[in-house]
Amino acid sequence: MERPAWAPRSIDISVPSVSRMYDYYLGGSHNFEVDREAARKAMEFMPGLPKIMQANRAFMRRAVRFAAAEGITQFLDIGSGIPTFGNVHEVARAAAPDARVMYVDHDPVAVAHSQAVLQGTDGAGILAADLRKPGEILNSPELLRLIDLNRPVALLLVAILHFVEDADDPYAAVTELREALAPGSMLVLTHASYDGIPLPPERAEGAVDVYQNIRNPLIMRTRDEIARFFEGYDMVEPGLVPMPRWRPDTAPEDEDPYAFSGFAGVGRTA
Ligand SMILES: C[S@@+](CC[C@H](N)C(=O)[O-])C[C@H]1O[C@@H](n2cnc3c(N)ncnc32)[C@H](O)[C@@H]1O
Taking residues 46-51, what's their average pLDDT? 85
pLDDT, residue 211, reads 77
Q: What is the pLDDT of residue 143?
A: 98
Q: What is the distance between the alpha carbons of residues 74 and 174, in angstroms, rounded to a whole number?
A: 18
Instruction: For a ligand 1 pocket test, name from 20, 31, 52, 105 the mutation site with the most ligand atoms within 8 angstroms of its C-beta.
Output: 105
Q: Assign 171 to helix, strand or coil.
A: helix
Span from the CA of 156 to the centroid of ligand 1 (angstroms): 11
- Indicate whether 252 pLDDT > 80: no
Which ligand 1 atom is nearest residue 79's CA? 12
Q: Is the pLDDT of residue 4 over 70?
A: yes
Determine the atom of ligand 1 nearest the C-alpha atom of 82: 27
Helices vs strands, H then E, count in the chain: 10, 8
| pLDDT score recorded for residue 9 | 75
Distance from residue 157's CA to the centre of ligand 1 (Å): 8
Cα–ligand 1 centroid distance for 77 (angstroms): 9
Query: Is residue 221 a contact partner of residue 230, using CB atoms and an 8 Å limit?
Result: no
**Structural domains of the chain ordered from first start:** 48-199+220-268 (3.40.50.150)
Q: What is the mean pLDDT of residues 210-230?
A: 86
The Å distance, Cα 130 to ligand 1 centre, comes to: 9
158 C-alpha to center of ligand 1: Å? 8
User: How far, in Å, from the CA of 100 to the mean position of ligand 1?
Assistant: 20
Pocket of ligand 1 (CB under 6 A): 18-19, 22, 56-57, 60, 78-81, 105-107, 110, 130-132, 158-160, 163-164
Tens-digit pLDDT profile for residues 150-177? 999 999 999 999 999 999 999 999 999 9
The total of other beta-carbon atoms located within 10 Å of residue 211's CB is 21
Nearest CA residue ID for atom 12, ligand 1: 79
Q: Quote the strand ranges of the chain, DSSP E.
A: 74-78, 100-105, 124-128, 154-158, 186-192, 234-235, 241-242, 262-268
Tell me which of 25, 52, 75, 106 to substitute to probe ligand 1's pocket, judged by most ligand atoms within 8 Å of the beta carbon: 106
- Does the model's pTM come out above 0.85? yes
Residue 123: band (very low, low, confident or very high) from pLDDT cuts 50, 70, 90: very high
SS3 content of the chain, % helix, strand, coil (to 5): 45, 15, 40
Q: In degrees, to the nearest 5, what angle opens at C-alpha 215 toward C-alphas 191 and 200? A: 55
pLDDT at residue 178, as a whole number: 98
| Residue 138 main-chain phi, psi, to 5 deg | -65, -30
Judged by average pLDDT, the poorest of 1-10, 27-36, 180-189, 237-246 is 1-10
pLDDT on residue 33: 93
pLDDT > 80? residue 258: no
Angle subtended by helix axes 201-213 and 33-45, to nearest 10: 160
Q: Cα(105) to centroid of ligand 1, in Å?
A: 6
